[in-house]
Structure 1
Amino acid sequence: MTDQEQLHQQLIDRMVIGGSLRTEPWRRAAVAVPRHEFLRGGFFRRAVGSDFTAWESVREDDPGWLEGCYTDESLVTQIAGTIVPEDIRGRITREPTSSSTLPSLVLRMLEDLQVDDGHKVLEIGTGTGYSTAMLCARLGEERVTSIEIDPWVASRARAALGHLDMYPTLVTGDGLLGHGAEAPYDRVIATCGVRTVPQAWIEQTRPGGLILVTVGGWLGSSELARLTVHEDGTASGPLLGGGVNFMLARPHQPPPLGLLPDLEDGKERETTIGADVLNNWTARFVAQLAVPAAQRLTLERDGRTEDVLVDVDTGSWAALHSEGDRSLVRQGGPEPLWDIVEDHFGRWRHAGAPALEEFTVTVSPEGQVIRWGS
């Protein structure tokens, strides 16, 4: 057994033991798809020993590249929309824009997709092509359509898949529009996050079909949802739990905040719900439902730390800080932003603070609604 084969088998064993790889058809697919083939362009890893978020490249000829390919970690493959590992010697501090998702999450999602032999699948976000290859190995390339918005990323994925003699339908374009030419699909799976599930995906999925997608927002909390498409053109289903987080689809990413409002020009009061709730994944998801257009930033002002929410649609804002045991909020703009969060958060707590697995997503032509409880 070669070093690569041994590393590959160890990864599969870890996924089986961890419970993400649960059935024999997907185990066979995982065995058939070597991850390193989709990372020959290298990847970025977090730089050690820096005081800020920095990345350094790991190339195919670098020590640790092959071992890195078979770690159960997400590996960044593109930064700032254009920068790839071959471009960098040293460190870079820009934001990641494409990655190879950790294999255990890829397999967990594919298992959660509940495919059967003969199903046609639409994948939103080809990325490196690793999950696309899994679908081809499980269902056959003729039943797989995958869309990637970035031409360079799509080209790399096409080459990697071709090297494994896999030729699914690959489309370069906006995945939020789906791909009507191959519809209807039995399953749709998205490897990017969305704020709202696109109506096009529902229209292109047969009644009874499933859509698996991460629903999130600009406060950075998200969760995997599995929706069933209905005859009336709506879709609904539960959140599955587990704190799944993907980069938002590029059209769903937040706009630049620009010039901040005058944070002294507002009314201050005491609040029973401080900014610390935003550090909890579920509580932040609840707050995000209340103020979906709000972004969060942390500022050091006047010798204290302030958590600030700014609503990019209305210009409303809320700045929170602590003084001893007291939590204070100062608000400005046309809407009392933190009042809205407090009200929504209070109703969630009154309902017993249900876990995200007790939330349901419903999507119709009129919009998307996420509720907890029955």
Structure 2
Amino acid sequence: MTAAADVHVRLVDRLEASGALTPGWRQAFLDVGRHGFLPDVFWASTGDGYERCDRAQSPGRWLELAYCDVAIVTQWDDGADSGQQREPTSSVSMPTMVASMLRDLDVHEGHRVWEGGTGPGWNAGLLARRQGAHNVVTVELDPEVAARAAANFRALDAAPTAVVGDAAHGYLPGAPYDRGILTCSVREVPPAVIGQIRRQGVLVLPFAPLFGGGAVARLTVADGAATGPFTGSSAFMRMRQQRYQAPPVDDYLPGDWPGDAAQEYTTLNPLEVVDDWLASFVVGLAVPDVYYRRSDGGGMTTLWLFDTGVTSWATVDFVDGARRFEVRQSGPRRMWSEVEESFQWWVGEGRPGFESFGLTVDGGEHRAWLHEPANPLPSPRGRG
């Protein structure tokens, strides 16, 4: 057995043993190697940042990372050649995440599948191997990323239909689909994506509220609406069309801080909210139009909270060892009060996990719920 085949089989065995990879997917994962979708130079998310790996310089390490359970970045900053890597914008996801989302997709023989976000193409290649290439359509917005994926597909026995286009618009020429999957996160599910899925079809996607956190949603489609539970934590790059461009702070606070905001205090450590992926996700579901910025310095961390309507703002200061934390709030909405109330509601419910929540999307409206659709998350009283 070659070195590549050896590490490949060991990864598949680990995925199957963990339960992420269901038996029906084993052969596809064995037949479609991950290393065939990776460039000669990539950056592996190893937990301590990103490790750059050059195949020409370190072929053994390159192959090892190709079959590690880590995400691998293949593009930064939408391909801008600025020499400054600020934001990863294309990647091959963690094998565990790929396998578990395909498990959630629950494909059966003959199902037609649409994928939004081709990236380097590994996920689409797996789907084509399992479903048959004629049953898989994948859409990629970035022409350069799409071109690299097309080159990767040429090494397969049969390639999916690959389209350069906007995944937010779906791909109606191939509709309707029995299954749909997004490989980028959204904070709003595009109506066109739902509309192209058959009744009782399934749509799997990473959902990431503006405030923070993220989870995979498994939605069942009916009559233009979609509803279903979250199945576990996720962290994906956001769909390009849904990257939020925040207004300048001066639009909220035209004068000097603190403006008209009176001094208040809270006993809730603000870092308990934003440094916990689950907590920030729940808060984001409850207050979907609130975001924050963080500044660290001088032994203090300040959270700036804003609403997307540009009506209200708040600051909360964290100082290590303090028992209470200074708050300033301005505008018709009490930004920190909303966040704190949502957090305390979650604590009062026993800190339920990702799988306890769900999402309903109907006519563009998004409603998060706990345990069942009839139990929507409460709106904070601090909304004004």
TM-score (norm 2): 0.88
Counterpart Cα distance in 1 of 2:290 and 2:247: 10
- AA of the residue aligned to 1:72: D
Counterpart Cα distance in 1 of 2:73 and 2:124: 17
Counterpart Cα distance in 2 of 1:31 and 1:57: 26
Counterpart pick for 1:227 among 213, 219, 222: 219
1:152-301 counterparts in 2 under 5 A? 152-230=144-222, 232-241=223-232, 243-259=233-249, 261=253, 262-265=256-259, 266-275=261-270, 276-300=272-296
Please state how far the C-alpha of 1:137 moved relative to its aligned partner.
0.7
Work out whether residues 359 and 372 of structure 1, in 8 Å CA contact, stay in contact via their aligned partners in 2: yes
1:20-169 counterparts in 2 under 5 A? 20-23=20-23, 25-45=24-44, 57-63=52-58, 64-83=61-80, 92-169=84-161
Please state how far the C-alpha of 1:112 moved relative to its aligned partner.
1.3
Counterpart Cα distance in 1 of 2:51 and 2:354: 35
Q: CA offsets per residue over residues 66-109 of structure 1, 9 Å max, x none?
A: 2221111100000011158xx97xxx442111111011211111
Counterpart Cα distance in 1 of 2:356 and 2:21: 24
- 3-state DSSP class of the match of 1:58? strand
- AA of the residue aligned to 1:269: E
Counterpart Cα distance in 2 of 1:56 and 1:326: 39
Gaps of 5+ in 2: 373-384
- 3-state DSSP class of the match of 1:155? helix
Counterpart Cα distance in 2 of 1:303 and 1:344: 27
Distance 1:142 1:237, change over 3 A: same
Work out whether residues 202 and 233 of structure 1, in 8 Å CA contact, stay in contact via their aligned partners in 2: yes
Work out whether residues 218 and 253 of structure 1, in 8 Å CA contact, stay in contact via their aligned partners in 2: no
- 3-state DSSP class of the match of 2:14? helix
1:331-370 counterparts in 2 under 5 A? 331-370=329-368
Deviating more after overlay: 335-344 vs 148-157 = 335-344
Counterpart Cα distance in 2 of 1:48 and 1:29: 28
Counterpart Cα distance in 2 of 1:322 and 1:168: 51
Work out whether residues 77 and 88 of structure 2, in 8 Å CA contact, stay in contact via their aligned partners in 1: yes
- AA of the residue aligned to 1:267: A
Work out whether residues 116 and 138 of structure 2, in 8 Å CA contact, stay in contact via their aligned partners in 1: yes
Kindly, what percent of the aligned residue pairs are identical?
Answer: 37
- AA of the residue aligned to 1:233: G
Counterpart Cα distance in 1 of 2:226 and 2:71: 30
- 3-state DSSP class of the match of 1:329? strand
Gaps of 5+ in 1: none
Counterpart Cα distance in 1 of 2:45 and 2:202: 36
Q: Alignment length, in residue pairs?
A: 362
- AA of the residue aligned to 2:210: W
- 3-state DSSP class of the match of 2:193? helix
- AA of the residue aligned to 1:294: V
Distance 1:166 1:333, change over 3 A: farther
Deviating more after overlay: 175-184 vs 267-276 = 267-276
Distance 1:367 1:74, change over 3 A: same
Counterpart Cα distance in 1 of 2:18 and 2:57: 29
Counterpart Cα distance in 2 of 1:68 and 1:356: 29
Counterpart Cα distance in 1 of 2:45 and 2:344: 38
Counterpart Cα distance in 2 of 1:353 and 1:257: 33
Counterpart Cα distance in 1 of 2:257 and 2:18: 47
Counterpart Cα distance in 2 of 1:142 and 1:300: 52
Work out whether residues 204 and 218 of structure 2, in 8 Å CA contact, stay in contact via their aligned partners in 1: yes
Please state how far the C-alpha of 1:294 moved relative to its aligned partner.
2.8
Please state how far the C-alpha of 1:56 moved relative to its aligned partner.
6.0
Distance 1:48 1:366, change over 3 A: closer
Work out whether residues 291 and 337 of structure 1, in 8 Å CA contact, stay in contact via their aligned partners in 2: no
Work out whether residues 136 and 161 of structure 2, in 8 Å CA contact, stay in contact via their aligned partners in 1: yes
- AA of the residue aligned to 1:339: S
Distance 1:341 1:259, change over 3 A: closer
Counterpart Cα distance in 1 of 2:331 and 2:57: 53
Counterpart Cα distance in 2 of 1:16 and 1:67: 19
Please state how far the C-alpha of 1:274 moved relative to its aligned partner.
2.9
- AA of the residue aligned to 1:240: T
Q: CA offsets per residue over residues 287-318 of structure 1, 9 Å max, x none?
A: 21233233322224665221222224325222
- 3-state DSSP class of the match of 1:153? helix
Corresponding residue number in structure 1 for 2:302: 306
